[in-house]
Amino acid sequence: MWQQAYRKNDVEGGSQPLYPMMLENAELRWAFIRKIYSIIALQLAVTIAVAAVVVTVHPISHFFVSSTAGLALYIVLIITPFIVLCPLYYYHQKHPVNYLLLGIFTVTLAFAVGLTCAFTSGKVILESVILTAAVVVSLTLYTFWAAKRGHDFNFLGPFLFGAVFVLILFSLIQVLFPLGKLSVMIWGGLASIIFCGYIIYDTDNLIKRYSYDEYIWAAVALYLDIINLFLSLLTVFRAAES
């Protein structure tokens, strides 16, 4: 009797293996996963709060589009997250530097997202948020379900990397030689599909491959997937509305 009760409590405590042939301690991996999703939830909350302030306080967005200093600051805000990624990758296992760099990365990226949303209708923003939330939750549940049944998504890595490279080239062509609204919608649709693949790929890595010291980098990867998916859907809906 006590052995059955122990097994029941062990399963309810989150010690059930996440995938077949799992050799590590399941409780530690579940705790690692909960920690990462807690960090991502905090990042998204900060992003929503900062973006909401930028959207609702109109003088902020007006400053960025009506002055040279605002334009220069806007460029700095866009570039800063990419610059911070370099030291963040180097110090992602060093506390508390990793959290400080993560905060700078999240806030600056949140400002960039807010400025993008400031010139978008509320309907488009709401549609993008709802669809992003639905896709992220469904793909996350699917990946956990698939991993439980022995599926592995590590093979997606090279394909997704190549797809992102093509997407960047597409963006450069669009900047230099604008192709119109249809091309923008195609770009947004392709980007949405690619980042859906990245959500599956990074969630699978979270379940199986990230070490326990890589919680910051794992959170950054999934957070970027979610933000990029949202911005891609925003691009599609905004182009369709215009």
The burial of 13, by beta-carbon neighbours within 10 Å (0-12 exposed, 13-18 middle, 19 or more buried), is given as exposed
First to last CA, the chain: 66
Among the listed residues 183, 175, 182, 192, the one whose alpha carbon sits nearest the alpha carbon of residue 232: 192
| pLDDT of the chain, 242 residues: tens digit per residue | 434 443 444 444 446 788 887 778 888 899 999 999 999 999 999 999 999 998 888 888 788 777 787 788 888 888 898 899 889 888 888 888 989 999 999 999 999 899 889 888 889 999 999 999 999 999 999 999 999 999 999 999 999 999 999 888 888 887 787 777 888 888 899 999 999 999 999 999 999 888 888 999 999 999 999 999 999 999 999 888 77
| The pLDDT of residue 70 | 76
Between CA 155 and CA 205 the distance in angstroms is 11
| The pLDDT of residue 3 | 40
Indicate the angle between helix axes 58-66 and 26-56, nearest 10 degrees.
80
Among the listed residues 62, 97, 75, 119, the one whose alpha carbon sits nearest the alpha carbon of residue 216: 97
The burial of 60, by beta-carbon neighbours within 10 Å (0-12 exposed, 13-18 middle, 19 or more buried), is given as middle
Q: What is the pTM of this model?
A: 0.89
Between CA 159 and CA 182 the distance in angstroms is 25
Q: Would you put residue 95 in left (φ > 0), alpha (ψ -120 to 50) or beta?
A: beta
| The pLDDT of residue 168 | 87
Collapsed DSSP state (helix, strand, coil) of residue 210: coil
Between CA 47 and CA 55 the distance in angstroms is 12
| The pLDDT of residue 15 | 63
Cβ proximity of 39 and 218 under 8 Å: no
Among the listed residues 59, 67, 64, the one whose alpha carbon sits nearest the alpha carbon of residue 112: 64
| The pLDDT of residue 142 | 96
Collapsed DSSP state (helix, strand, coil) of residue 211: coil
- Tokens linked to 70: 């605002």
